[in-house]
Structure formats: structure tokens, C-alpha cells
A and B are shown apart, each in its own frame.
Chain A
């Protein structure tokens, strides 16, 4: 991982990014091309990305841990700046036509003071972390125990978003998944296999199950990331289920596991009467 490399080469049309990271809909290609275009000061349209074929691209480390933007994007920002120094004020396409292909590559070096072993995979894998806070407003039917999230607020600090609309999509999508995990999605394992691996018996949220979401992206540029960015891919799925469970606990149910389906909630011990706020207020008043 510490040996992660990323490359950039000139082409007749501009530049080509050489990284091993995979686009699976999260926007990696767009985001990396933006970093390179801005680093070189050229239009986005002049940046292409090689297919992540190991015969063509260097080992950039895995597409994991929301590291692609911060680590690989960071390497590409360095590549772009180095290429800019080499080619001066000509465009990469002009340089390519006159001088031939220019290839630059950067290798990841751990920030000072951070310890990590590639042999034992122990230490601090990453130099920094993103932060988040989720608020779930939940309605619970005291008879059927059906639970609905009526409003969800996600506040995330991941340095600076490279592409705010796509970053928002990462947060909204992960929040919906997290709420599905909290209330609906029950994996049944039988003999080492998932016994309900169909959408008929493994229910995920629809448009009618997801609440309106407020997304706040707090900007706090991180000096070690490209244009101040950290990573956002996975973090927003962590908070929603705890937020929903805490809301159910606030409503008086001693929820200890998810998914908190109506049938599970029916047999969940009470912290106090499920009739909610008025009882809680009385309890507080009595203290």
C-alpha cells in the first residue's frame, strides 16, 4: 500500500491518467480527471483515463477504504504539477506533438511520524480521517411497531469535495443504505450461504422508504490531500444505523441489534412506556 504509484502521460489530445483504481459508479474517473485538469491548468475534456489493466497501469493499491481520492488523487496532483513544470506554458498536446510522449509517475510516501508496516499490515494505515454526524427523526407506530425515518440530516467533514454534486450523491446513497440496514435489511445465513439473496425476500429501501435528506458538507481543507480533499466513499454509511437506533431508544425501546424490524421491535424490552415524549418528560420532571 505504501508503494502505491500513479502515472500521467501526454497524448496527441492531452493527457492520460494511469492508475489501477476502478470506477464502479462512485465517480472515480470524473474526480481524478478533475484533479489532473486543475493541476495542469487544462480543460477537463483533454484528460482521459486508461482502463485499469495491469499491463498498462502501475499498482496504485486497492480501491478500498475511501482512499482513492486522498491517496491516489494526491499522487496525481503531484504528477500534474511535475508535468506542468516540465512542459512549461505549452499544452500537453502541443508538447506531445513536438517532443513525443512525456510520462511522469509518483510513488506514495507516508507523512512524517506515521508508522505502518507493509509486512505485518500493522500501524496507522492512514494519516487522517473524515468526520460525520447523523441525525435521524423517526416515527414509531406503538401498535404495529412500524418505523419510518421522516427526516435525515447528514453532516460530513471530508476536507473539501472535489465534485460537490457527486460527493452529495455518495452521502445520500450511503445514508439510504444505512437506514435500510437499520430497519429492513436482514441477511439470513444458512449453511454458509445467504438464504434470502433475492429482492423478493431481502428488502431494500424504495423511494417511499427513504426520507428527505439534508446534507451538509463542512469544508475544512486537508493539506495532505489533493486540493484539500480527504475521502467520502464509505464513511456516510457508518452513522445512519446508530442514529436510527438511538432514536428508537429515545422512544423507549431497548434496541440492541439491527435490523429493527417490526417483529424484532415487538419483543424488544422497554426502557419506558413507548407512548413517548410525554412519559419521558414526566420521568425527567420526577427526577
Chain B
């Protein structure tokens, strides 16, 4: 089946089976290996990408469901989003497998003008498991990125 979507701002069209996992299409067909597979069963959030701005676990999404959608993967942030920088300075990543998913899941909080509470940060990231950091550095990174993004 021919599938069309917008990937990181660029129109893409590819021929593939409609039931293939979006995760595999992104990694194998599009060559974007920044999206990681953690559990492969929708529990860990490592494969989070944004579909029309909403975080989804790409291991549970058949590519047919992405038809006509705008997709954003970690590559689409270009390494220069305030959250990517603060994840480095606050050491929000250790082994790094959860990091692309964490950044995309928290992006909306960082971009929104309203300063998120710590409870809101925890809630927004509840679907993204991290085994290394204990989450504290990730929370610090999200709050620091919000402060930087909206600094007057």
C-alpha cells in the first residue's frame, strides 16, 4: 500500500504493508534510528513520536494510521531544542535509550507558555520509563528548558 505522511516537515511517500509498525517504518524504511524500541508492547515509551502533535508509542501504531499525518521524530528537533540542551546540562540521560521518547513526550510542556508544576511534569512523563536516572534529573531538565524557552 502507498502511504503518505509528513515526516519532520518533509512530505514522504512510501510503499509498505499497512500493518507494519510505525516504529519499524521510521527506523528501517526512513533510516531514522533515533526512535528506540524498548519493550515493544507499549509499556515503556522509548519509541514515542509525535503524530499531529500528540505523543504516541510507535510500536503499537500500524503505519496505515499515520496516513496523512504530521510526524515528528527526535531527528526533527535538530538537536537545538531547549529541552535537548537542558537534558545534557542537567544530565537527564544516562544510557540514553529512553531519552528521545522523553524529550518528545515533554516537548509540549516545554513549548507551552504556562509554567508546568512538578506534578504536571511527572504526569506528562508517566508513560516513559527510565531505569537509570530516577527521573529527578529529567524533571529538572524539563523545568530548566521551560524557563529558557520562555525567558523574556
Contact A213 B134 (CB under 8 A): yes
Contact A176 B134 (CB under 8 A): yes
Max count, chain B CB within 10 A of own CB: residue among A25, A207, A208:
A207
Residue of A166, A204, A213 touching B131 (CB-CB under 8 A): A204
B87 vs chain A, min Cβ distance (A): 11
Residue-wise, chain B 125-136 has the 8 Å CB interface mask toward A (1 for contact) of: 111110111111
A266 vs chain B, min Cβ distance (A): 26
Q: Point out the residues of chain B lying under 8 angstroms from A165, CB to CB.
A: 89-91, 137
Stretch at the interface among B10-18, B36-44, B64-72, B109-117: B36-44
Residue A224 at the chain B interface, CB threshold 8 Å: no
Query: In the complex, which residue of chain B has the Cβ closest to the Cβ of A208?
Result: B126
Contact B41 A25 (CB under 8 A): no
Contact B43 A169 (CB under 8 A): no
B48 vs chain A, min Cβ distance (A): 14
Known: A25-B95, A168-B137, A169-B94. A177 touches B39 (CB 8 A): no
Residue of A172, A198, A206 touching B133 (CB-CB under 8 A): A172
Residue A66 at the chain B interface, CB threshold 8 Å: no
Known: A169-B132, A172-B136, A172-B137. A198 touches B41 (CB 8 A): yes
The size of the chain A interface, using a CB distance under 8 A, is 24
Residue of B41, B122, B137 touching A208 (CB-CB under 8 A): B122
Residue A24 at the chain B interface, CB threshold 8 Å: yes
Interface residues on chain B, size class: 20 to 34
Known: A198-B39, A199-B39. A173 touches B132 (CB 8 A): yes
Complex-state Cα separation, A27 to B38, whole angstroms: 21
A135 vs chain B, min Cβ distance (A): 16
A-B contact pairs, 10 of them (CB 8 A): A25-B94, A168-B137, A169-B136, A173-B133, A175-B134, A176-B133, A198-B39, A208-B126, A210-B136, A213-B134
10 shortest interchain CB distances as A-B pairs = A176-B134, A25-B95, A172-B134, A199-B43, A25-B94, A207-B122, A172-B136, A199-B39, A173-B134, A207-B125
Give the A-binding residues of B (Cβ under 8 A): 38-39, 41, 43-44, 89-91, 93-96, 118, 121-123, 125-129, 131-139
Give the B-binding residues of A (Cβ under 8 A): 24-27, 165-166, 168-169, 172-177, 198-200, 204, 206-208, 210, 212-213
